[in-house]
Homo-oligomer: A and B are copies of this chain.
């Protein structure tokens, strides 16, 4: 009981901090006079009051958080914050059901960027800014999660992924050193965001669009202020800028930080995910562009390459902007892009999926098995760069990947039972669990998630949530072992 109350205290604090983030839309409603001022102030106070009340009633229950508490805290925080994030949506869009509002808020905070709203172009600037800020805050949350919490929890071999974090998992405290790391990464995150805002303005966006899209690009959220997403602008410059920043956001933020601190490119050379990340994306862009050109989707190779590059980088990094209706492309192209979305984003990025590090371990382990068949007496440890990966970690990684893909299978089957067609169900499950955004078919870039039934919407909400906290973090709460002393 004490444990729950001390977690409630932390959540109360988080809510109070969260209420501060209303300052952005409040400022926007002042600047644009869009009539949402009182609404945002009211929601801000409500959130502050709820957080304050929770904190006041539980403030005596101070306790160092243990690793085990982390699982519950992460689950609570994401579910609870999303509930409060619905407030402005519900108060402005009175017809919006709670199901849809919660989907939209969860989509924002998990940086999925799937939307149930149509008529984005006509929303008040402050409401659009709020949606995009959720993407941005979600990205920040993920960085904390990835840097500070998951490695300590040891989810899916995570302890391997960050040199900054403690080694093998033990009942370790969330140390100040980790807080320091998170702060440094946030600085990089904020710096990238500002650079992106300026670049987008220079590429031709107005300030509101530039800020909103920078928020959703650097967080790899993929929300847009336009129903047609980036297709609205039809601008190679804007697509170029966004592609550049999506690629940066799909890399490890720790690498960016180390590069900035050392003022050299060396950290990029040492990042074992970086070369495979760029090669995989580049090869896919050229291959798919060639394919679309051969299939006469585009009249020449260069047009095909332009559209392929933007949309493929968008899906592979799990950002989820649509530059064009890729649902109209021959099916292989978007399927390949969805597949890339499962495996491509780097560790320590704001992207989703299983992460490239785990993909590399999986591939290397398979190669090793093949070698063992012909040379059974060979003793070859699995190496990434110069690092030897112990078999405990490999097992954790493979177990993680299995649970991840089984989750997709179950989600697809449930969506099909509920009446969705195969392509829509498959793409919705993949797009949601990878926090990617748009799928194909009924949930494709030309449509959105508004057409789903309530049951389907909740399934997709669950998928986004599970994907973001790396599945295991939630599943563990359903094991008896977790609740044993």
Contact = CB atoms under 8 A, between A and B. Distances in A.
Interface of A: 68, 71, 153-156, 168-171, 330-332, 335-336, 339, 362, 365-366, 368-377, 391-392, 394-396, 398-403, 405, 409, 413, 416-417, 422-423, 426, 472, 475-476, 479, 481-482, 484
- Dominant SS among interface residues on chain A: helix
A148 B168 CA distance: 42
Contacts of A422: 331, 422-423, 426
A407 to B, nearest CB: 11
A232 to B, nearest CB: 30
Given A155-B373, A374-B68, A395 B396 contact: no
A377 B155 CA distance: 15
B369 A399 contact: yes
Contact of A391 (B71, B156, B371, B391): B391
Contacts of A377: 170
Nearest to A401: B402
Q: Kindly report how many copies of this chain are found in the complex they form together.
A: 2
B402 A398 contact: yes
Given A153-B373, A395-B369, A395-B394, A402 B332 contact: no
A92 B479 CA distance: 62
13 contacts: A170-B377, A331-B416, A335-B413, A365-B398, A368-B399, A369-B395, A370-B475, A371-B481, A374-B482, A395-B395, A401-B402, A422-B423, A422-B426
Given A339-B409, A391-B392, A398-B398, 14 more contacts: A154-B372, A154-B373, A169-B373, A330-B417, A332-B416, A336-B413, A365-B395, A366-B403, A368-B399, A370-B479, A372-B396, A374-B484, A391-B391, A422-B426
Contacts of A398: 365, 395, 398-399, 402
B391 A395 contact: yes
Nearest to A421: B331
A413 B376 contact: no
Nearest to A363: B402
A367 to B, nearest CB: 8
A153 B332 CA distance: 36
A411 to B, nearest CB: 13
